[in-house]
């Protein structure tokens, strides 16, 4: 149930990928033989399928190694290409490190970055963004769905605000694509970061939507692949897998979202029904269907996680390799350090069942009751005082 860290690759995705390791092993850039053409055609088909996730045209999509690279390319690429237009970037305190760290890199280069606060339900107020924009602002980056608390930002509306202020708008949609509708043909979003492994696709493959005509400085230069924005031989099997995962995700989105939301609500209701002192973190209204993030009063975060050995969940983001301390996202919501450490993040997935949810509720209930039980101590007050001692 740790589906925000990653997801199991769908067997249909694996089946689609396998021929591109052996039978169709060609290089998609080889122009003079059948092996190259087969690979090129498969990449073109996958590009169209991935583009459909965000409503873009296929030629506006650049394949990368994942959302981390896409975020870096978007943020550093715009900052470099638009250096003469301004030196200010706006983002949000609750972003993933794959956005916060490239922003910190820009600060080291002398750009100014504003980190916007969120409300206690995890959502950014549009007015907060409006008041942060200056004539120097070149880029606004706000994630579509948060990877810890699953809250959804109204990226279409925020993109309109950014555009009205003369800035580019980027969204990290790693957790959102294939889960909720994103449509760059309706909304003035300039850049979208995607990744396959949160959507039952393979790891190490992602994409960046780059709106037609937008100037971007590449991070990786070489053979001029991907319209010069990301050089390097294309990872054809992974791209094919991403395409297949995208198609499955998009085709079944409505039913799958409803199923996952029902499972998630069963989990939330089960935990709240079984225990007192359970706090749901983040808005329940604007939220991914498969996310639940809860804190438990009166338990230590470490004991909570180490005690749940039979359930794969996490506290905070697994994608951050340094894990010391409590979640910056929960702290931005105003949670105490104790309560934010005593939190569990659930990400339900395609292969989870109602039985599993019920088992998890029972395991968490038993553990939390045990952790909250007072430690039995030998009470000296009940003992007679030794001779010669007085109260
Ligand atoms: C919101 C968000 N952005 C970026 C990433 C990084 O994506 P990737 O693992 O594809 O680099 C993740 C998770 O890993 C994420 O949840």
**Is the CB of 179 inside a 6 Å radius of any atom of ligand 1?**
no
> What is the average per-residue pLDDT within 288-314?
91
Predicted local confidence at residue 285, as pLDDT? 96
Strand pairing class (343-347; 191-195): unpaired
- In the reported structure, the alpha carbon of residue 342 is separated from the centroid of ligand 1 by a whole-number distance in angstroms of 23
**103 part of the active site:** no
Predicted local confidence at residue 303, as pLDDT? 86
Least confident of 102-106, 137-141, 206-210, 387-391: 387-391
**Is the CB of 319 inside a 6 Å radius of any atom of ligand 1?**
yes
Task: Please say if the pLDDT value at position 168 is more than 60.
Answer: yes
d(CA 370, CA 360): 15
Q: What six digits make up the tokens of 65?
A: 């190694």
In the chain, CATH 3.40.640.10 sits at 11-251
> What is the average per-residue pLDDT within 208-214?
97
CATH of domain 253-371: 3.90.1150.10
Task: Please say if the pLDDT value at position 146 is more than 70.
Answer: yes
Confidence of residue 316 (pLDDT cuts 50, 70, 90): low
Least confident of 249-258, 271-280, 289-298, 317-326: 317-326
> What is the average per-residue pLDDT within 167-189?
96
Predicted TM-score of the model (pTM): 0.93
Atom of ligand 1 nearest to the CA of 98: 4
Confidence of residue 301 (pLDDT cuts 50, 70, 90): confident
Residue nearest atom 11 of ligand 1, based on CA coordinates: 68
Residue from 319, 329, 339, 364 carrying the catalytic annotation: 319
**Alpha-carbon distances, residue 257 vs 2, 156, 249 (angstroms):** 17, 21, 10
Least confident of 293-302, 307-316, 336-345: 307-316
Atom of ligand 1 nearest to the CA of 206: 10
**Is the CB of 68 inside a 6 Å radius of any atom of ligand 1?**
yes
Please state, rounded to an integer, the average pLDDT across all residues of the chain. 94
SS3 label, residue 2 = strand
CATH of domain 11-251: 3.40.640.10
Predicted local confidence at residue 378, as pLDDT? 56
**Is the CB of 98 inside a 6 Å radius of any atom of ligand 1?**
yes
SS3 label, residue 82 = coil
Predicted local confidence at residue 388, as pLDDT? 65
In the chain, CATH 3.90.1150.10 sits at 253-371
Percent of the chain clearing pLDDT 90 (strictly above): 89
Task: Judge contact between 124 and 118, C-beta under 8 A.
Answer: yes
Taken in order 117, 268, 314, 343, the sign of the CA dihedral is: positive
Q: What's the pLDDT tens digit per position in 25-73?
A: 999 999 999 999 999 999 999 999 999 999 999 999 999 999 999 999 9
Task: Please say if the pLDDT value at position 268 is more than 80.
Answer: yes
Pocket test for ligand 1, best of 5, 96, 152, 242 (most atoms within 8 A of CB): 96
- In the reported structure, the alpha carbon of residue 319 is separated from the centroid of ligand 1 by a whole-number distance in angstroms of 6
d(CA 309, CA 295): 18
Confidence of residue 386 (pLDDT cuts 50, 70, 90): low
> What is the average per-residue pLDDT within 288-316?
90
- In the reported structure, the alpha carbon of residue 134 is separated from the centroid of ligand 1 by a whole-number distance in angstroms of 29
Taken in order 264, 124, 177, 224, the sign of the CA dihedral is: negative
Task: Judge contact between 245 and 16, C-beta under 8 A.
Answer: no
**Is the CB of 200 inside a 6 Å radius of any atom of ligand 1?**
no
């Amino acid at each position: 149930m740790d589906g925000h860290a990653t997801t199991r690759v769908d067997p249909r995705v694996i089946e689609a990928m396998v021929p591109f390791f052996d039978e169709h092993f060609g290089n998609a850039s080889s122009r003079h033989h059948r092996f190259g053409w087969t690979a090129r055609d498969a990449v073109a088909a996958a590009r169209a399928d991935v583009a459909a996730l965000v409503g873009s045209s296929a030629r506006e999509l650049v394949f990368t190694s994942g959302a981390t690279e896409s975020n870096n390319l978007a943020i550093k690429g715009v900052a470099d290409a638009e250096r003469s237009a301004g030196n200010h970037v706006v983002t949000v305190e609750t972003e993933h490190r794959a956005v916060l760290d490239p922003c910190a890199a820009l600060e080291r280069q002398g750009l100014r970055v504003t980190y916007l606060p969120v409300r206690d339900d995890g959502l950014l107020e549009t007015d907060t963004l409006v008041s942060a924009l200056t004539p120097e602002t070149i880029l606004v980056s706000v994630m579509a769905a948060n990877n810890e608390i699953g809250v959804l930002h109204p990226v279409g509306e925020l993109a309109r605000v950014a555009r009205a202020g003369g800035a580019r708008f980027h969204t990290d949609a790693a957790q959102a694509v294939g889960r909720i509708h994103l449509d760059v043909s309706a909304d003035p979003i300039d850049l979208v970061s995607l990744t396959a492994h949160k959507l039952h696709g393979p790891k190490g493959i992602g994409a960046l939507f780059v709106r037609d005509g937008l100037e971007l400085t590449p991070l990786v230069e070489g053979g001029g692949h991907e319209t010069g924005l990301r050089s390097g031989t294309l990872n054809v099997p992974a791209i094919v897998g991403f395409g297949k995962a995208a198609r499955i995700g998009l085709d079944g989105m409505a039913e799958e979202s409803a199923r996952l939301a029902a499972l998630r609500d069963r989990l939330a209701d089960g935990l709240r029904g079984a225990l007192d002192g359970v706090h749901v973190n983040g808005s329940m209204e604007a939220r991914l269907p498969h996310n639940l993030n809860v804190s438990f009063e009166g338990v230590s975060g470490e004991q909570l996680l180490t005690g749940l050995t039979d359930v794969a969940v996490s506290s905070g983001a697994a994608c951050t390799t340094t894990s010391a301390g409590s979640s910056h996202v929960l702290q931005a919501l105003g949670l105490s350090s104790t309560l934010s450490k005593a939190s569990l993040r659930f990400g339900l997935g395609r292969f989870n069942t109602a039985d599993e949810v019920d088992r998890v509720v029972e395991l968490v209930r038993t553990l939390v009751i045990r952790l909250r039980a007072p430690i039995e101590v030998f009470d000296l007050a009940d003992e007679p005082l030794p001779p010669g001692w007085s109260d």
